[in-house]
């Protein structure tokens, strides 16, 4: 059979409140042409984010009733710990209330002024936490990852040559005679030379400048694009050579593993679980927002191999999140997460998930609408500059498209362009995009067909879309609360 069906039946439904075009016009104006300021009840199809917006399964909901709310040593914590150990092989696991809490703890421990943190692309909260610590966040995604039309199968890959150059340069600044800080974790231990000993001694000096290398799977800021296993192995090898820890931002680890199974030569006969395990085996630690591939509405994890670092993370967790067996979550949340991490590696689920996102992308491409190609795992990104070429970046083409989508069909999406990344003193972003993020297990194919039809109709009338001007904005993260006027 060619048709891929939703691998679930619907047991509970949540009504969508229908609105008329006239109502939406008033709602949009009242919200200052910023869909973040619209009440969710006034939205027909909400594609603002895939984070924490998914539907839980009947087993997760029954887990909610089983949740053990004991302060310390709750049964639900041990269920989650066992599931995450089984999937990732990590011994030391900390629960947090969401991904950015894990990031805050990690960068409080490892960040700091004068340090540099490379990543393929930092997600915005990761970058904010790196910078908040005083360190510099550097993005090193491959060149193909910066071009919407490139169809490279792993556009999230790290540029290994640029990563090596960065480690070399920082090694030189750190004062090593040879520049590079090689040898700390070399596999050829048996053939240690005096030079290796010198390099092993120099590795801590490099770590004082580059405390870790990160890689985001899948690469959200770069279009939800995956990273190949070969590339992750390459990052690991460089980290070994230079003696620097390697951490994953692993929010969408299962979607990334499924792309590896689909696209990477030699991976087709492995199970997603095996691939997931190999990905985590390559890392020294990971931050995870469980609101994505944990299939829950709230929750996060911090995984760390190093015992001493974990001990310090425990202290910070207790200080600001909660005790180490609940980390700011209720027992019922832990129970739902344990079940979510089991369900997310089911391959019929992942086939449906990746295929349904691609379905939306392919329909838009077939209608001549430019998106970031190939379709990513959790979202489709429309090239708003190509959609409305008559609107210059200074008049926010992405925001014009987001407003047009709401006005025309009650669909909520998010601008990822000059509104989100621009502003006084900031360079203009490389792309003007609109992200249609797909919540997990929430919308059916006919909802997506409705979205496709709406976007194609809007494309037919695109010259009617109007640019905008900002009339009110906060000093930071302006996209959440800015108000606009139509030109």
How far is residue 146 from each of residues 51, 121, 139, measured CA to CA in Å? 24, 10, 11
Question: Nearest approach, Cβ of 129 to ligand PLP (angstroms)?
Answer: 9
**How far apart (Å, rounded) are the C-alpha atoms in residues 369 and 456?**
8
Question: Nearest approach, Cβ of 337 to ligand PLP (angstroms)?
Answer: 12
**How far apart (Å, rounded) are the C-alpha atoms in residues 66 and 75?**
9
Question: Nearest approach, Cβ of 10 to ligand PLP (angstroms)?
Answer: 26
Question: Nearest approach, Cβ of 378 to ligand PLP (angstroms)?
Answer: 8
Question: Nearest approach, Cβ of 215 to ligand PLP (angstroms)?
Answer: 11
Question: Nearest approach, Cβ of 390 to ligand PLP (angstroms)?
Answer: 32
Question: Nearest approach, Cβ of 106 to ligand PLP (angstroms)?
Answer: 11
Nearer to ligand PLP, 51 or 199 (CB): 51
Quick one: CA torsion of 300, 130, 323, 295, rounded to 10 degrees? 0
Nearer to ligand PLP, 330 or 386 (CB): 330
**How far apart (Å, rounded) are the C-alpha atoms in residues 126 and 51?**
15
Nearer to ligand PLP, 28 or 141 (CB): 141
Nearer to ligand PLP, 19 or 216 (CB): 216
Nearer to ligand PLP, 249 or 264 (CB): 249
**How far apart (Å, rounded) are the C-alpha atoms in residues 366 and 27?**
32
**If we measure between CA atoms, which residue out of 36, 24, 33, 30 comes closest to residue 414?**
36
Nearer to ligand PLP, 435 or 441 (CB): 435
**If we measure between CA atoms, which residue out of 110, 83, 80, 97 comes closest to residue 304?**
110
Helix (H) or strand (E) holding 248: strand 246-249
Measured from each CB, the residue nearest to ligand PLP is 99
Total residue length of the chain: 487
Question: Nearest approach, Cβ of 15 to ligand PLP (angstroms)?
Answer: 27
**How far apart (Å, rounded) are the C-alpha atoms in residues 346 and 344?**
6
Nearer to ligand PLP, 202 or 303 (CB): 303
Question: Nearest approach, Cβ of 399 to ligand PLP (angstroms)?
Answer: 20
Nearer to ligand PLP, 247 or 387 (CB): 247
Evaluate the omega torsion of the peptide bond into residue 218 and state whether it is cis, within 30 degrees of 0: yes
Question: Nearest approach, Cβ of 340 to ligand PLP (angstroms)?
Answer: 13
Nearer to ligand PLP, 115 or 122 (CB): 122
- Measured at the CA of 475, the angle between CA 27 and CA 118, to 5 degrees, comes to 110
Q: Which residues bind ligand PLP (CB under 6 A)?
A: 51, 98-100, 123, 125-126, 216, 220, 249, 251, 289, 291, 300
- Two tokens at 209? 């400048």
Q: How far is CA 173 from the centre of its chain?
A: 32
Nearer to ligand PLP, 117 or 388 (CB): 117
Own/partner pairs, 307-311, CB within 8 angstroms, 24+ separation? 307/92, 309/109, 309/110, 309/285, 310/92, 310/94
Pairing state between β 300-304 and 93-96? antiparallel
**How far apart (Å, rounded) are the C-alpha atoms in residues 398 and 482?**
14
């Amino acid at each position: 059979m060619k048709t891929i069906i939703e691998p679930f039946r619907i047991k509970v439904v949540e009504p969508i409140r229908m609105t008329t075009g006239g109502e939406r016009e008033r709602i949009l104006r009242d919200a200052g042409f910023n869909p973040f300021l619209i009440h969710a009840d006034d939205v027909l199809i909400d594609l603002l984010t895939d984070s924490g917006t998914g539907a839980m399964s009947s087993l997760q909901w029954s887990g909610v009733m089983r949740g053990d709310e004991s302060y310390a040593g709750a049964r639900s914590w041990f269920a989650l710990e066992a599931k995450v150990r089984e999937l990732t092989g990590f011994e030391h696991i900390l629960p947090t209330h969401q991904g950015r809490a894990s990031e805050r703890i990690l960068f409080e421990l490892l960040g700091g002024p004068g340090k540099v943190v490379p990543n393929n692309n930092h997600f915005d909260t990761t970058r904010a936490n790196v910078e908040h610590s005083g360190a510099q966040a550097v993005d090193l995604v491959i060149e193909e990852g910066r071009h919407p039309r490139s169809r490279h199968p792993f556009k999230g890959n790290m540029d290994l040559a640029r990563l090596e150059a960065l480690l070399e340069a920082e090694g030189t600044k750190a004062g090593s005679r040879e520049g590079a800080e090689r040898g700390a974790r070399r596999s050829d231990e048996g053939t240690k030379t005096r030079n290796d000993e010198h390099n092993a001694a120099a590795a801590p000096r490099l770590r004082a400048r580059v405390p870790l290398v990160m890689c985001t799977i899948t690469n959200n800021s770069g279009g939800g694009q995956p990273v190949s296993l070969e590339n992750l192995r390459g990052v690991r090898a460089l980290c070994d050579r230079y003696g620097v820890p390697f951490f994953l931002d692993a929010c969408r680890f299962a979607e990334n593993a499924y792309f590896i199974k689909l696209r990477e030569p030699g991976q087709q006969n492995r199970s997603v679980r095996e691939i997931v395990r190999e990905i985590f085996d390559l890392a020294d630690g990971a931050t995870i927002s469980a609101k994505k591939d944990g299939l829950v509405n709230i929750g996060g994890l911090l995984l760390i191999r190093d015992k001493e670092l974990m001990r310090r993370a425990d202290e910070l967790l207790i200080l600001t999140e909660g005790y180490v067996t609940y980390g700011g979550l209720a027992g019922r949340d832990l129970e739902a997460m344990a079940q979510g991490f089991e369900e997310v590696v089911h391959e019929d689920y992942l086939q449906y998930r990746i295929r349904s996102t691609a379905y939306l992308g392919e329909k838009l491409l077939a209608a001549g609408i430019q998106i970031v190609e190939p379709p990513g795992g959790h979202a489709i990104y429309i090239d708003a500059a190509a959609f409305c070429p008559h609107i210059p970046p200074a008049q926010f083409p992405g925001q014009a498209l987001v407003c047009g989508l709401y006005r025309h069909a009650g669909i909520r999406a998010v601008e990822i362009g000059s509104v989100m990344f621009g502003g006084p003193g900031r360079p203009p972003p490389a792309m003007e995009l609109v992200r249609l993020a797909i919540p997990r297990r929430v919308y059916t194919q006919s909802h997506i067909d409705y979205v496709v039809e709406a976007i194609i109709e809007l494309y037919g009338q695109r010259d009617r879309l109007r640019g905008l001007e900002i009339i009110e904005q906060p000093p930071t993260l302006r996209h959440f609360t800015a108000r606009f006027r139509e030109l």
